[in-house]
Structure 1
Amino acid sequence: MTSKKLYFKGSGGNRLSALLDLPADSRPEAFALFAHCFTCTKNLKSANYISRALTRERVAVLRFDFTGLGESEGDFADTNFSTNVADLVAAANFLKTGYEAPKILIGHSLGGAAVLKAAGQISSSKAVAVIGAPADTVHLMRHFEKHQETIAKDGEAEIAIEGRPFRIKKQFLDDLGAAQIEEAVRNLRKALLVFHSPMDNTVGIDNAARLFQYARHPKSFISLDQ
């Protein structure tokens, strides 16, 4: 696998940092777009493993940092689920213009929910794969329960996520609460592959069952051992 460092304009006009992973010794037969998890980055180990596996099968992968995360510009506090979806659409348009429109969309955790929402706006996509993705946003809202009063009073609060501080604004929670993931999956009309571990303590396995139930065929489920 060879990787190219790239930049493109995100939904809000900020410069987003990306890696385009390409097959080492052949032209790609297709392009995929990868969305990382909540507050993660494109450099996540699992993203690298996925890219390596796909490039061996001659599938190029574009992975990028959402606005305000990693090496991308922007203020995370001003982003939300909807801006993540819009960043994905911008990334797909970037691929379409400079390389080839993505046929495969892949998302991890909340990134999985984002690709499910974005898929309807990315006409080139033929298949969607989600890993540990939520069927709704309730599990994520629980992270902010003890800060609800502060957010309601001050409009924002600093919250530690995986040991790192993030400013979360009321607009983020309002937007997250309005996400219609079930509706997006029911209207997907693309092949869906759901990966999930029964041992996932962050996003329970019941989420995978619900996503699978909502989706039309063709669809498949693969249980992960960890």
Structure 2
Amino acid sequence: MKIEIKDANKHLASYIIMPEEEAKYILVACHGFRGGKENSGQLFEFAKKLNNIGIGVCAFDFSGCGESLGKFEDITLSRQVSDLKLVVDYLDNKYKLPIILLGRSFGGSTILAAYDTDNIVGYILWSTPVLLKETFSTIFKDDYLKLKNGSSVKINDDGDEFNLNPQLVQDFYNHDFILYLSNIEQKPVLVVHGLNDDVVDPKNAMIIKNYIKDCRLCLIKDADHRFANKEEEREEITLKWLKEKLNAIR
């Protein structure tokens, strides 16, 4: 089912994919930087697998991405946190089921920065940075300093150009990921990261592991940031972890 989750300021294009049998949980999937809710078409098969173990799925486009309203160039972590809160509140009110959060890359950063409430019962982090300043300064190089100093920039990424406003980088200084990790240290967390990730250094995964009591860390040999040709392995690890944790995280 394709819907809009919205309030006075946000219109978030979303898919809600529920199992035929009664769902016991809902998993909210948060895409990465410049990504989209379909995850390059991989969402739907993965959602079927989740439905088969009693988990409904909600995937949405953050503001300014995909089919959601807004300008991508205005992206900030705080804006994405606000988007996620709107989605979680909608699902909580409509379905009243425990919620599992899954984030890819910057979407993983978002779920950590969002908030911890009783209805969030687990976290899944794929290729997730917690060292945002270090990660994005490596990605943007000289443009990072321009953004930090208040200038907008045009980024060229493999021939694809997009604009960014300085609020993206300036907002990083409003977030404390050590605090966020400490806030969820009692919740189960799965971290899956590629050892060949040259976008988000695998040491980010180790930092998460060090702060979370119930954390399973899976470092995948020969996997890059996008898990090219390793997507199925990442999904199988995730499904296995969910099956093991379902009874424990009720």
Give the TM bin, normalised by the shorter chain.
0.7 to 0.9
Does the aligned pair in 1 maintain the 2:24–2:98 contact within 8 Å?
Answer: no
Equivalent in the alignment of 1:61: 57
- Number of equivalent positions: 219
1:112 to 103, 108, 118: 108
Would you say 1:207 and 2:204 are equivalent positions? Answer: yes
State the secondary structure of the residue aligned to 2:23: coil
Does the aligned pair in 1 maintain the 2:37–2:61 contact within 8 Å?
Answer: yes
Shift of 1:148: 4.4
Equivalent in the alignment of 2:153: 157
CA distance in 2, matches of 1:79, 1:168: 8
2:195 to 184, 191, 198: 198
State the secondary structure of the residue aligned to 1:126: strand
Q: Structure 2 counterpart of 1:200, which letter? A: D
**Identity over the aligned pairs, expressed in percent?**
23
Does the aligned pair in 2 maintain the 1:36–1:47 contact within 8 Å?
Answer: no
1:42 to 16, 37, 55: 37
Per-residue CA deviations over 1:117-137 (Å, capped at 9, x if unaligned) read: 1142x4310111101111210
CA distance in 1, matches of 2:38, 2:71: 19
Does the aligned pair in 2 maintain the 1:35–1:111 contact within 8 Å?
Answer: yes
When the two structures are superposed, what TM-score results if normalisation uses the length of structure 1? Answer: 0.88
Which ranges of structure 1 fall in alignment gaps of 5 or more residues?
none
Shift of 1:154: 7.0
Structure 1 stretch displaced more, 36-45 or 12-21? 12-21
- The 1:128/1:173 distance shift into structure 2, 3 A limit, reads same
When the two structures are superposed, what TM-score results if normalisation uses the length of structure 2? Answer: 0.80
Which ranges of structure 2 fall in alignment gaps of 5 or more residues?
224-250
Does the aligned pair in 2 maintain the 1:85–1:114 contact within 8 Å?
Answer: yes
Where do 1:141-152 residues align within 5 Å? 141-148=137-144, 150-151=146-147
Per-residue CA deviations over 1:17-71 (Å, capped at 9, x if unaligned) read: 0001222x31211111111011100011444443232112110010000000000
Per-residue CA deviations over 1:105-154 (Å, capped at 9, x if unaligned) read: 1101111111111142x431011110111121021232233224654677
1:221 to 209, 217, 221: 217
